[in-house]
């Protein structure tokens, strides 16, 4: 009998953890496991705000995929997924095609622009190693340009659209980085502005108000200006236009206004909400016994509040661990062993730049250096999960 084909699309949190667990659980003669990823490295998305601001080198936030997988057990294909044909059970890649018996979609998210005019064309977003290299270079270029056109103070204005967790973590890093660039380029720090614009009546909507206040206080002291309750309605090559008509000219606009699932999924004819698939209790796409979805492409409702769980790395990892058990069950033809997915949210910790953070761990609120330490521990724990002590020592920041 020919081996069953398990095809994993995307080597982020969901894809890598699924592949690693499967390579341990399935015997080599039970299934052929293939992972397709755009790059030959796995990037640690939760750290990307740092290389984006230039406070950390991007190499620290990526790991070679071949170092993470047993390549005798998992075929790694470096390619870009173009489309999924669910009827023929085939996936079209830029440079080839893959067939599957069981498909895992873990392609992550895309920026949600809500149709705001000019955002796609004129704003940066923090989503990959290449995108953050671009942001860091652009920030430095703005300083260099300003030195040659000192009347253009807009070159030194940095607008961040959205004060969710990504926006808040990024402005924290930016506020640490810009004073260093001021020294390097002989620029008066008074000329530099970081403006974080948020549509909702508060930054970090839905998060604990006391911690939100703490975060805004820390960031204001570092020089961040907030514009709250002020939606961005347009983005132009010169800056942003707000709903109240105000125009802010800025040389750098970074959009952190939210995410949606990867568009490849909705184009495959799978039912989605903002690109995310409302999976069943076993993480299957509705109507497809052979398609599983994990990470940012999956949507799971928190019944307690009747709202979706936010797409996080924490969820992606837990889903991947559960999915690997379910894949073993389906490959072995043991449907009774399928396990329902039950998220276990351990908390949320967000960095505010060097030595500062906020968070809720269990039911406890934490902030300041303790929260910052906790954030580091969470980052190290992930390195340990995917690469053990050697990876912690090689990539960890202590």
> Which residues are identified as catalytic?
169
Q: For strand 102-105 and strand 291-293, is the pairing parallel, antiparallel, or unpaired? A: parallel
Least CB distance to ligand FAD at residue 49 (A): 4
User: Closest CB to ligand NAD among 161 and 239?
Assistant: 161
User: Closest CB to ligand FAD among 39 and 89?
Assistant: 39
- Per partner kind, with CB cut-offs from 5 to 8 A, the member of ligand NAD, ligand FAD, none near residue 293 is none
- Per partner kind, with CB cut-offs from 5 to 8 A, the member of ligand FAD, ligand NAD, none near residue 45 is ligand FAD
Q: 297-316: which residues touch ligand NAD (CB under 6 A)?
A: 310-312
Q: 136-195: which residues touch ligand NAD (CB under 6 A)?
A: 161-167, 169
User: Which residues make up the interface to ligand FAD (CB under 6 A)?
Assistant: 10-15, 36-39, 45-46, 48-49, 80-81, 106-108, 126, 128, 166, 169, 262, 264, 295-296, 311-314, 316
Beta bridge partners of 33: 6, 74
- Among 142, 7, 153, 148, smallest CA distance to 74 is for 7
- Per partner kind, with CB cut-offs from 5 to 8 A, the member of ligand NAD, ligand FAD, none near residue 161 is ligand NAD
Beta bridge partners of 35: 8, 76
- Per partner kind, with CB cut-offs from 5 to 8 A, the member of ligand FAD, ligand NAD, none near residue 106 is ligand FAD
Under the phi-then-psi rule, with left for phi > 0, alpha for psi from -120 to 50, and beta for the rest, what region is 388? left
Burial profile 6-41: b = 16 or more Cβ within 10 angstroms, e = fewer: bbbbbbbbbbbbbbbbbbeebeeeebbbbbbbbeeb
3-state helix, strand, coil split of the chain in percent (to 5) is 40, 25, 35
Q: How far apart are CA 74 and CA 31, in angstroms?
A: 10
Residue of 198, 266, 356, 379 interacting with ligand NAD (CB under 6 A): 198
Q: Check binding of 378 to ligand NAD (CB under 6 A).
A: no
Q: How far apart are CA 33 and CA 37, in angstroms?
A: 13
Least CB distance to ligand NAD at residue 161 (A): 5
- Per partner kind, with CB cut-offs from 5 to 8 A, the member of ligand NAD, ligand FAD, none near residue 295 is ligand FAD
User: Closest CB to ligand NAD among 195 and 283?
Assistant: 195
From residue 24, alpha-carbon distances to 72, 106, 300, 384 in Å are 12, 19, 27, 16
Contacts of 207 (CB under 8 A, 6+ apart): 348
Q: 234-293: which residues touch ligand NAD (CB under 6 A)?
A: 256-259
- Among 372, 347, 388, smallest CA distance to 214 is for 372
- Per partner kind, with CB cut-offs from 5 to 8 A, the member of ligand FAD, ligand NAD, none near residue 391 is none
Least CB distance to ligand FAD at residue 259 (A): 8
Other beta carbons less than 10 A from residue 201's beta carbon: 8
Least CB distance to ligand FAD at residue 145 (A): 26
Q: Which residues sit at the interface with ligand NAD, rule CB under 6 A? A: 114, 116, 161-167, 169, 197-200, 205, 231-232, 256-259, 310-312, 348-350
């Amino acid at each position: 009998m020919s081996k069953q084909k398990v095809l994993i699309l995307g080597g982020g949190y969901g894809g890598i953890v699924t592949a690693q667990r499967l390579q341990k659980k399935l015997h080599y003669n039970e299934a052929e496991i293939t992972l397709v990823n755009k790059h030959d490295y796995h990037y640690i998305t939760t750290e990307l705000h740092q290389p984006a601001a230039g406070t950390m080198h991007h190499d620290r936030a990526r790991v070679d995929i071949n170092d993470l997988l047993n390549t005798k057990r998992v075929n790694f294909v470096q390619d870009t997924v173009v489309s999924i044909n669910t009827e023929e059970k085939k996936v079209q890649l830029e440079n080839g095609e893959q067939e599957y018996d069981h498909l895992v979609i873990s392609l992550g998210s895309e920026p949600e622009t809500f149709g705001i005019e000019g955002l796609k064309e004129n704003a940066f977003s923090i989503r990959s190693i290449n995108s953050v290299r671009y942001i860091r270079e652009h920030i430095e270029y703005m300083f260099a340009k300003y030195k040659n056109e000192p009347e253009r103070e807009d070159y030194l204005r940095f607008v961040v659209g959205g004060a969710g967790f990504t926006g808040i973590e990024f402005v924290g890093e930016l506020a640490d980085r810009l004073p260093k660039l001021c020294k390097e380029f002989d620029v008066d720090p008074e000329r530099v502005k970081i403006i974080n614009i948020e549509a909702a009546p508060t930054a970090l909507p839905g998060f604990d108000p006391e911690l939100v206040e703490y975060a805004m206080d820390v960031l204001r002291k570092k020089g961040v200006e907030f514009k709250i309750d002020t939606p961005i309605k347009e983005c132009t090559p010169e800056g942003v236009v707000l709903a109240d008509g105000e125009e802010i000219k800025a040389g750098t606009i970074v959009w952190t206004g939210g995410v949606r699932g990867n568009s490849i999924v909705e184009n495959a004819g799978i039912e989605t909400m903002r690109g995310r698939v409302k999976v069943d209790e076993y993480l299957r796409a509705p109507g497809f016994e052979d398609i599983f979805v994990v990470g940012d492409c999956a949507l799971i409702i928190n019944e307690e509040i009747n709202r979706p769980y936010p797409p996080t790395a924490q969820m992606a990892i837990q889903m991947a661990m559960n999915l690997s058990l379910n894949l073993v069950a389906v490959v072995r033809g043991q449907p009774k062993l399928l396990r329902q997915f039950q998220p276990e949210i351990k908390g949320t910790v967000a960095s505010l730049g060097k030595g500062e953070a906020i968070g809720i761990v269990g039911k406890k609120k934490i902030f300041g250096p303790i929260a910052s330490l906790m954030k580091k521990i969470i980052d190290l724990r992930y390195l340990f999960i995917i690469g053990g002590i050697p990876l912690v020592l090689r990539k960890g920041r202590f």
